[in-house]
């Protein structure tokens, strides 16, 4: 059903999907892993529509989210009338990143901790089915071996029963524009259906090298500045990346051997290909000025002009 192959009928999809979810879940209870991104929130809402209060949304606070995100996600889910549990797993996540610098190793460590945490919640709540917002692009990139997306298991031969549950992926055949159409069809607020994509492993993909709470805090602050200064651009994704190496700079007249941030602003429809946006020099200068002035350790700010391919959207 790939986007563009034939006209996608969101109404029909929702009808078919609700029937399928009801069949798979039966009279069991289900949890939905919700990060607040478009895919997982649409999934959560769809499953809630199908099984009502037998669904519990789970927000895993891994310490890697954007500024204000944990509070935003829990509020949105509660406003939608969905039973929600927030799990503080910051310590577990930072522990597994300790000493890891390889991108794929970090991704796999994230995936393992993500499923282990969900497995614990499922056990405590006595639940055997977990819903998640995997979409077609996640599966394609993982199966091709480009990168191990955090939410792909069965498609690469890992049995989720090893973590103690069955997985439900209602959006697995859709691309991002179709997911947004489903969100609109379900009547989700615009702040969800039109939200900028944000990856499951969150800021861990944007801290090159070792992921620590201090380094995540730097990229979180830079991300907020980039988002604030690019609100009007209507681009697909806008964010900041913290480099693993350092550079020389001058602050208050003194030499500082400090951190480097790269800003990435891309246009895309389905995340399979992307173009770096030709952002005005005025906006770029403002971002660089704010990032280097407001974040003490940053001495250099770069802009990434590479398209996908040959780059990917995220750095890791």
297 is written with which tokens? 């350790």
Pairing of strands 254-267, 275-276: antiparallel
**200 part of the interface to ligand XMP, by CB under 6 A:** yes
Instruction: Choose between 197 and 249: whose C-beta lies nearer to ligand XMP.
Output: 197
Instruction: Choose between 9 and 314: whose C-beta lies nearer to ligand XMP.
Output: 314
**150 part of the interface to ligand XMP, by CB under 6 A:** yes
Question: Do residues 142 and 149 touch, judged by C-beta distance below 8 A?
Answer: yes
CB atoms within 10 A of CB 268: 18
**277 part of the interface to ligand XMP, by CB under 6 A:** no
Among 197, 209, 213, 249, binds ligand XMP (CB under 6 A): 197
Taking the complex as a whole, the smallest distance from the CB of residue 237 to ligand XMP amounts, in Å, to 6
Taking the complex as a whole, the smallest distance from the CB of residue 188 to ligand XMP amounts, in Å, to 18
Among 141, 154, 173, 304, binds ligand XMP (CB under 6 A): 141
Q: Which of 87, 90, 151, 153 is nearest to 120 (CA)?
A: 87
Which residues pair with residue 164 across a beta bridge? Answer: none
Which residue has tokens 């159409």? 181
Taking the complex as a whole, the smallest distance from the CB of residue 27 to ligand XMP amounts, in Å, to 30
Taking the complex as a whole, the smallest distance from the CB of residue 271 to ligand XMP amounts, in Å, to 4
Strand extents, DSSP E, 114-182: 129-131, 166-168
DSSP track, 169-184: -TTTT--HHHHHHHHH
Among 271, 298, 299, 301, binds ligand XMP (CB under 6 A): 271
Peptide bond into 116 cis (omega under 30): no
Which residues have a Cβ under 8 Å from the Cβ of 197 and sit 6 or more positions away? 37, 38, 39, 176, 236, 237, 271
Among 32, 149, 193, 223, binds ligand XMP (CB under 6 A): 149
280 is written with which tokens? 């005005």
Instruction: Choose between 48 and 111: whose C-beta lies nearer to ligand XMP.
Output: 111
Taking the complex as a whole, the smallest distance from the CB of residue 40 to ligand XMP amounts, in Å, to 8
Stretch that binds ligand XMP, among 12-20, 25-33, 143-151, 209-217 (CB under 6 A): 143-151
| Integer Cα distance of 107 and 102 in angstroms | 9
Q: Which of 258, 185, 186 is nearest to 215 (CA)?
A: 258
Instruction: Choose between 70 and 201: whose C-beta lies nearer to ligand XMP.
Output: 201
130 is written with which tokens? 């977990």
Task: Draw the binding track, 287-316, toward ligand XMP (x: CB under 6 A; -: no contact).
Answer: ---------------------x---xxx--
Among 70, 183, 199, 258, binds ligand XMP (CB under 6 A): 199
Stretch that binds ligand XMP, among 50-58, 162-170, 193-201, 257-265 (CB under 6 A): 193-201
Crossing angle of helices 176-185 and 10-25, rounded to 10°: 80
- Residues interacting with ligand XMP, by CB under 6 A? 138, 141, 147, 149-151, 197, 199-201, 237, 271, 308, 312-314
């Amino acid at each position: 059903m790939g986007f563009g192959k034939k006209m996608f009928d969101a109404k029909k999809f929702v009808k078919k999907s609700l029937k399928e979810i009801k069949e798979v879940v039966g009279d069991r209870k289900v949890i939905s892993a919700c990060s607040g991104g478009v895919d997982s929130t649409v999934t959560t809402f769809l499953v809630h529509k199908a099984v009502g209060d037998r669904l519990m949304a789970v927000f895993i606070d891994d310490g890697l989210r954007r500024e204000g995100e944990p509070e935003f996600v829990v509020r949105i889910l509660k406003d939608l009338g969905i039973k929600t549990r927030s799990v503080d797993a910051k310590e577990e996540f930072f522990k597994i990143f300790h000493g890891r610098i390889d991108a794929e190793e970090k991704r796999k460590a994230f995936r393992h901790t993500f499923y282990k945490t969900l497995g614990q919640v499922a056990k405590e709540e006595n639940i055997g089915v977990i819903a998640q917002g995997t979409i077609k692009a996640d599966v394609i990139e993982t199966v091709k071996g480009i990168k191990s997306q955090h939410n792909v298991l069965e498609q690469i031969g890992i049995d989720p029963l090893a973590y103690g549950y069955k997985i439900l992926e209602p959006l697995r055949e859709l691309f991002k524009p179709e997911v947004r159409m489903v969100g609109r069809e379900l009547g989700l607020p615009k702040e969800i259906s039109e939200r900028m994509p944000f990856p499951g492993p969150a800021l861990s993909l944007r801290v090159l090298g070792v992921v620590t709470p201090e380094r995540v805090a730097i990229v979180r602050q830079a991300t907020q500045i980039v988002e604030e200064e690019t609100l009007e651009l209507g681009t697909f994704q806008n964010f900041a990346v913290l480099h693993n190496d350092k550079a020389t700079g001058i602050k208050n007249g003194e030499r500082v051997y400090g951190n480097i941030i790269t800003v990435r602003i891309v246009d895309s429809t389905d995340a399979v290909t992307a173009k770096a946006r030709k952002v005005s020099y005025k906006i770029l200068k403002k971002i660089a000025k704010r990032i280097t002035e407001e974040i003490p350790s940053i001495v250099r700010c770069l802009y990434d002009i590479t398209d996908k391919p040959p780059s990917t959207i995220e750095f890791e």
